[in-house]
Amino acid sequence: MNFIKRVLSTVTGIFVFLIICFIGIILIGVLFGSNDDQVIKVKPNSILDLKLDFPIKDYAGKTIFADYPFLNDDKKNGLFNIINAINYAATDENIKGISIDNNFLDAGISQTKAIREALLRFKESGKFVVSYANIYSQKDYYLSSVADTIFLNPAGLMEFKGLYSEQLYYKDFQEKTGLKMEVVRLGKYKSAVEPFLENKMSDNNREQVSIFLNSIWNEIKLDISKSRNISVERLHTIADSLLARNPDLAKASKLIDKIAYHDEYINGMKQAVGINFKDDLKFISIEDYAEYASAELQNYSIKNKIAVIYAQGDIIYGEGDETTIGQGVMNRSLKAAREDDKIKAVVLRINSPGGSALASELIWREIELTKKIKPVIVSMGNVAASGGYYLATNAHKIIAESTTITGSIGVFGILPNAKELADKMGINAEQVATNKNAVTYSLLEPFNDTQRAFIKEGVVSIYELFTKRVSQGRNLTLEQVESIAQGRVWTGADAVNNGLVDELGGLDLALQRAAELAEINDYRIKEFPVIEKDLDKILEEFGLLKSKETILQETLGNENYKIFQEIKNLKSKQGIQLLFPYSTDIK
């Protein structure tokens, strides 16, 4: 009886605790909701603090909590919020300059280039841009190289050494564990499944990785060369010999201007602003200023709109969310844009390595329906490859950054097989079937010739459909498509030359082309998708519940967690895939 009482007491306690939590959430929502009318103010003689040490997404996301509207969130710290804020700061008399201070930039190469170009436009206003770091990572330096003056701590470090990409291979792991992946692929450059088949990188794969890495590195060197007035050849020598690895070498190589402590950096800005050294500088963070600029830039008197629909992350068959592309959220967004009379054109911003072939085709169809009614322009981000390129083929025009990774027109099918693992553990699977092909797949049985033939048939069919979509969308013959397909990866600069992309530029150019096709001059932007979240997400966001993924990330650390996530993602990609061959984490 006492045991039952204790159990009931525990259950009651948990129930009361949950009620208190819900009340707490409501109170927090009311408190935060009451601040909606507060306006961020920019004081005179302010400096925009461009601290970008948070993960930068193209689209920060708009989140709707159906049952808790006071928790709705419309973030303004996405890539284009940051760019718009920098653009607006150039005209804001209260902003005297920009400080890039001790960043550890968490963004892709193309995103970094887009922010860098916004800083170059800002400098045309005559206002200053300065940069300081204790440690300059290579990506941080690429961004900071636009600055009028670049500072490095006397005890600091600098990384300028060229790019590399790393791929994990699992063949020996599969042999040792008995857990294997059954693979069928089409395209000699389609290397997404190569780690399951080989112990080392193939010559074809190494060739394409080398080509696109060198292409991106050349773009970076060219940009730095223009900003720092150092020849591209000299920059290559500096990287080869690590001639910027410490402050003295970095200054001698002319990659930085001053070796100084942080207080000296601050005093330099005080002098530039024209205030007394005893007074404090007025900083405003880029996140706060982006929110302020977003409100200032809104002009509700303009009736015409252009929809910007963000497709970021892996393509999955299903709903999708702020980190994955599913036909659910994408097709609802396309349909909403298509049926809104005030929306005159659609810009599809793609930042995706691809994924599910079926989901890609379903989204392609929705783009086709939209394209018949309104202009559709694609803007490519860091990567728009394989399934990401599949989506792009149906646009009226494709705009890419020179450093965008695209193409990868190839297909593979992959299924896990644990037959050898089961044998080692003493497990045997037996099937009973009514027809000879009833067992199309079993985790505990190897593929037979018939099953493999069926999978290959599907892969061939999808590849033929993929190349057909490219041929029709890009006005190329099938022979021309085949010569640039086979799973091969291209940079945006190369893709312009081979016909996969129309022009080089960012989202601003894509919007310009969309307005031209829609024959409108003035417009405002409406962003999609809007993501709905459930109760688990609410609890997780408020720290009342941690997901197992959050716990793993905290336990393993960011770098180890990325490796874990990569293995997990590869294992989960069953069926026919249109996927970029390797990690887009260029180092």
Residues with a catalytic annotation lie at 190, 386
- Listing DSSP states for 286-345 in one string gives HHHHHHHHHHHH--TT---EEEEEEEESEEESS---SSEEEHHHHHHHHHHHHH-TTEEE
Is the backbone of residue 475 left (phi > 0), alpha (psi -120 to 50) or beta? Answer: left
3-class state of residue 152 by DSSP: strand
3-class state of residue 210 by DSSP: helix
Q: Please count the other Cβ atoms lying within 10 Å of the Cβ belonging to residue 19.
A: 10
- Listing DSSP states for 33-100 in one string gives HTTTT------TTEEEE----S---S---EEE-TT-GGG-EE---SHHHHHHHHHHHTT-TTEEEEEE
How far is residue 196's CA from residue 181's CA, in Å, rounded to a whole number? 7
Q: Is-contact 373 395, C-beta < 8 A? A: no
Q: For helices 109-123 and 79-89, give the axis angle rounded to 10 degrees.
A: 10
3-class state of residue 142 by DSSP: helix
Phi first, then psi: what are they for 488, rounded to 5°?
A: -75, 145
Side chain identity at residue 310, one-letter code: Y
Provide the edge-to-edge strand list for the sheet that holds 314-316.
180-186, 411-417, 575-579, 354-356, 314-316, 324-326
Tokens for 44, please give them: 């005179």
Local structure of residue 405 (DSSP, 8 states): E
Maximum alpha-carbon separation in the chain: 89
Q: Is-contact 469 390, C-beta < 8 A? A: yes
How far is residue 285's CA from residue 283's CA, in Å, rounded to a whole number? 7
3-class state of residue 211 by DSSP: helix
| Residue carrying structure tokens 């060198």 | 214
Q: How far is CA 413 from CA 29, 202, 268, 393, 419, in A?
A: 46, 19, 59, 22, 19
Which residues partner with 325 through β-bridges? Answer: 315
Tokens for 223, please give them: 């940009």
Is the backbone of residue 372 left (phi > 0), alpha (psi -120 to 50) or beta? Answer: alpha
CA torsion through residues 435, 440, 445, 446, sign = positive
How far is residue 453's CA from residue 299's CA, in Å, rounded to a whole number? 58
3-class state of residue 245 by DSSP: coil
How far is residue 459's CA from residue 453's CA, in Å, rounded to a whole number? 10
Tokens for 576, please give them: 């026919």
| Residue carrying structure tokens 């390797």 | 582
How far is residue 182's CA from residue 445's CA, in Å, rounded to a whole number? 11
